[in-house]
Amino acid sequence: MAKPRVLLYEPIHEEGMRVLRAHAAPHLASGRDEATIVREVADAEGIVIRAQGAATARVMDAAPRLKVIGRHGVGVDNVDVQAATERSIWVVNTPHVVTEPVAEHVVGMMLALAKDFRNSDAHVRGGDWGYRDRFQGMELRGRTLGVVGLGRIGFRVAEICRKGLGMEIVYTDALPQPKAEDELEARRMDLMPLLEISDVVTLHTPYLPATHYLINAEALRHVKPGAYLINASRGKVVEQAALVRALGERRIAGAALDVLETEPPEKDNPLFALDNVLLTPHCATATTEALIAMSLVAEDVIAVLQGRRPRYPVNEPV
């Protein structure tokens, strides 16, 4: 009996491939654009998708045997979950494995901004040792961290910053978070007041219609002067043009971004011209441990193909 075919949009770690090869016939797509995927998905019973490309209704309709879409990671904004549910297709992900790597990445970015590592390194390499006399960093102890979205990752960032760095925690979230309030003495407030008092703002909200350009020109006018903004959620949560203006005018001290509106960015992206921006290529989850764990979404893909209920379902197919 032929093994079920699974189409991968991008390569995954060998641990996950080993699971797939044992029970299925995995194939790597030759491109991630919709037209290519539509051509190559016809006989697939499973899909594994990472951050690039999308699993759209059109893709699903081109795959009449499709039973499961596995998201290597946690965010499913590039999967049409409603369309999958209506077509009796499971969507599964790896919700727990990205918490630690993303939280560590965010805290690393925070420290890099506060200590001006990017510019200090550039000046030393350029022979300007005298930059030490012009340098002035920020101590984080006693400062206020504003967390926008206090889910798993937001909580872990807040926990590190509260217990490890002695920061005060404020947060905004659709729901109260009693654990954070009890364990971290976190205070819940609306977005604009949070922006006004936070020395560092870190974004951990999913990308939804309600969070599109959540940090826009109006929000940036409320950001405390001298504060830093960190985004490791989704690029379109921040209005890039407004952020470029705020950074260029030094209305905020700086920003660290692991995600951008357009990925990969165009070569003339205006953020590149600013010296108060730290950029990483959507790689906060890219640790050895996390890449292995995310690749094991393959286990839930195989579970569905074998008629079993997945461990981490995103939806309940009709």
List active site positions. 234, 263, 282
Among 285, 287, 241, 236, residue whose Cα is nearest residue 263: 236
Residues 6+ apart with CB under 8 A from 123: 129, 131
DSSP 309: P
- Report yes or no: 137 and 290 within 8 Å, Cβ to Cβ: no
Distance between CA 166 and CA 211 in Å, rounded? 29
Over the range 191-224, which residues count as b (16 or more CB within 10 Å of their CB) and which as e?
eeebbeebbbbbbbbebeeebebbbeeebbeebb
In the numeric block, the tokens 């050895």 are attached to 288
How remote is the C-alpha of 39 from its chain's centroid?
A: 29
How remote is the C-alpha of 175 from its chain's centroid?
A: 20
Distance between CA 242 and CA 259 in Å, rounded? 16
Q: CA–CA distance from 180 to each of 103, 147, 159, 218, 270 (Å)?
A: 15, 11, 8, 28, 37
Residues 6+ apart with CB under 8 A from 315: 81, 84, 85, 90, 91
